[in-house]
Chain A
Amino acid sequence: MSDIKAISIAEVDKGMSGIRRWVFWIIAVVAPLILPLIFDSSYAISMMSQMGIAIIFALSYNMLLGNSGLLSFGHAVYFGLGGYFVIHALNAIDAGKFYFPVTFLPLLGGLGGLIFGISFGYVSTKRAGVTFAMISMGIGELMFAASSVLPIFGGEAGVSSNRVTGTGLFGINYGPPIQIYYLIAGWAMVSALLIYALSLTPLGRMVNAVRDNPERAEFVGYNPQRVRFIILALSSIFAGIAGGLAAINYEIVSQEYLSANQSAMPLLMTYIGGTMHFFGPVLGAILVTFLQVVVGVYTKAWPLYMGIVFMIMVLFAPQGLAGLIMQHQPILRAGLGARLIPSYLYAMVSGLIMLLGIISLVEFIYHLSTEIHSGTEMTLFGISFDIASSFPWVITILLIAVGFFFFRRACSAISSSWNSALAEIKGSESHE
């Protein structure tokens, strides 16, 4: 269940029938256009803008991780430098040094990403695998260290600007957040389309070949080093566009844009979403951003939860959410989906009990270590209690133990119902 098959993304998507694929794309175009009409609070719009930026960044990252097998720990370099390019350009436009419509400013970010993608990529793509990972991290750290020293990065305060500048195209000046949202959504669609189209070109296929078997690719007559270099340069364009959009959205670019945290985000998003399907990174970006914005408000422990989720995905579901979803396709197509529902419900209930226990435990300890000055009384899930007494702790441990016990049984129930469904499909195929 956990083995990743070496097949190209385009190959997987061909598995879907032609009509379904078109429906998928139409939804992908229409949904971002009408969503802000439904969720029109400024909170929702700023979150969706953030998601759009994250989607471009994660898709750009997956050009490396999923398509080329290059694990980068420094993708924020291209994101951040693209951001700095755009913010300095905005300042220059403000000062009247030159004119450039804000709508197309992310292109400058992409150019910035490309310039640095070419210069750093030349060094880092000489190797693949673990060495590439280390070099990318070294370059990331180099730029982060440089950003606190060199004046052009604006030190710790960063560089800020004003996006409402000049006369906008068609009178759009990007003052209201909704205009920014549509700008981001538009760029996200264009980027997604370009990245998808790229995976269908011969270059896209060659990149897959270099990932799976570099020696063989070399025998066919392609230099794997050059293929890696080209894909890194191309992917840094999109990272730069994402950074440029972030610069326009927040009107400030600081060291944070180049930090290791920023490099880790697309890795988490892409891996949780699933690297082997085109929509995996999109899914991951939407989910992680949503959790970051929503859960981040309630608890300071959210990076811990994120890390635990990531570790569980690596251990138990390396195919990611997209992979998990696509695994159901043969069973759903055979009309046997209903058979899985009871065991899934079982796992969901027991999993929720366990989760409740784990979250309570973490929040208790967090309260003790960081907010002890405000007393030992705390409120969790709307219930107030005193964690100085042993009662809440006993309940918590019980929840975890009971949840874990039943979750284990639910897992074996899932695998047995899964296997019976698969056996039936195979059985009916052999009867035909």
Chain B
Amino acid sequence: MEFFLISMLNGLTYGLLLFMLSSGLTLILSMMGVLNFAHASFYMLGAYFAYQISVFIGFWPALIIAPILIGIIGAVIERYGLRRTHKTGHVAELLFTVGVALVIEELVPLIWGRVPMDYKIPPQLDFTLFTLFTTDFPAYRGFMIFISVFMLVLLYLVLTRTRIGLIIQAALTHPDMVGALGHNVPRVFMLVFGVGAALAGLAGVIGGNAFVTEPGMAFAVGSIVFVVIVVGGMGSLEGAFVASLGLGLIQTFMVAIDYTFADVFAMVGLDSIPPGTVGDMLSVKFSQMAPMMPYLIMVLMLIFRPRGLMGARES
């Protein structure tokens, strides 16, 4: 029970973080048709910026400044890079974001070096929020959940209750019509790209010190975020939400399961599998399989339900 509850909470934290990343990515994807490969790079930049700012003036200003900076960088990249490639088609746009990701991936170790940063949790939040049976639940995890939920509610309200939100929603499906009505659609694109980047940056700010801030962090998260939007259904925010939480939970639980396939077979009475290639395969622990799980789920999803959990169309 204790294991279950703690894993639930950890999985929830991770899943919400994933959704902060995938929500921006999904919005950009369904609006501009661009799969932004540099999205996870913004997450990494968020963590590094926050570290650097927190060295100078502390964590709390960094929480606000870093995402805004990332948002501005994102908007500039959209305005002066992505918009240029727009006329050459989606593949060129995609490749441009790959280029951005490659360059950021190398610029970060250029500036900060390859060793992990000493980006610490702020002392005000470095205490135990509550103790479940015998396991402590750190206050910072609670703070992460709070920030993610707060941002997501805010995003939801902006998208559904404000004028600009309605224009964005309209531009998702009918950009030409929105343009014909006199709205500056390219500027809406730039805004969405910037806000998406800022959200990814914020995820980096609160994720960087909870996990680890190092040059490999973008790639580690990036591919999982892609899985999230495929499994959730391309362009569906609700689907991305369900898939983020689901993948967060599955990964957290898998890491903690210490059984092998052979153990499972033994439970149902098949305990005489000879050692050999097959026997070796079966002696792999579930916890070791955890890194494979998201991709396995994605492939299975594509075979059995190609439009994802809640995707409206088979793009």
Question: In the complex, which residues 75-130 of chain B have their Cβ closer than 8 Å to any Cβ of chain A?
Answer: 81, 84-85, 87-88, 90-92, 94-96, 98-100, 102-103, 105-107, 109-114
A365 engages B110 (CB within 8 Å): yes
Q: Does B223 contact A (CB under 8 A)?
A: yes
Alpha-carbon separation in the docked complex, A314 to B98 (Å): 10
A142 engages B299 (CB within 8 Å): yes
Alpha-carbon separation in the docked complex, A69 to B105 (Å): 26
Q: Does A355 contact B (CB under 8 A)?
A: no
B103 engages A304 (CB within 8 Å): yes
B113 engages A141 (CB within 8 Å): no
Alpha-carbon separation in the docked complex, A146 to B314 (Å): 28
B106 engages A307 (CB within 8 Å): yes
A residues near B226, Cβ cutoff 8 Å: 134, 137-138
Q: Does A195 contact B (CB under 8 A)?
A: no
A149 engages B33 (CB within 8 Å): no
A141 engages B90 (CB within 8 Å): no
Question: In the complex, which residues 1-39 of chain A have their Cβ closer than 8 Å to any Cβ of chain B?
Answer: 2-4
Given A123-B302, A135-B230: A314 and B96 interface contact (C-beta under 8 Å):
yes
Could you count the A-B residue pairs with CB atoms below 8 Å apart for me: how many are there?
134
A residues near B112, Cβ cutoff 8 Å: 369
Alpha-carbon separation in the docked complex, A152 to B283 (Å): 12
Smallest CB gap from B280: residue in A: A151
B96 engages A315 (CB within 8 Å): yes
Question: In the complex, which residues 167-189 of chain B have their Cβ closer than 8 Å to any Cβ of chain A?
Answer: none
Alpha-carbon separation in the docked complex, A79 to B230 (Å): 25
Please, what's the 1-or-0 string for B216-232, where 1 marks a CB less than 8 Å from any CB in chain A? 00010001001101100
Q: Determine which of B99, B113, B234 lies in contact with A131 in the assembled complex, contact meaning CB atoms within 8 Å.
A: B234
Known: A127-B314, A145-B291, A318-B85. 7 other contacts (CB 8 A): A133-B35, A134-B226, A135-B302, A137-B223, A138-B227, A311-B103, A365-B111
Q: Identify the B interface with A (CB < 8 A).
A: 29, 33, 35, 81, 84-85, 87-88, 90-92, 94-96, 98-100, 102-103, 105-107, 109-114, 219, 223, 226-227, 229-230, 234, 277, 280-281, 284, 288-289, 291-292, 295-296, 298-299, 302-303, 306, 314-315
List, sorted by A's number, 26 A–B pairs whose CB atoms are closer than 8 Å.
A3-B87, A71-B95, A123-B299, A123-B302, A126-B306, A127-B315, A129-B91, A131-B315, A133-B35, A138-B227, A138-B299, A141-B295, A148-B291, A149-B291, A152-B280, A264-B98, A264-B102, A310-B95, A311-B102, A314-B96, A315-B84, A318-B88, A362-B110, A365-B110, A369-B110, A370-B109
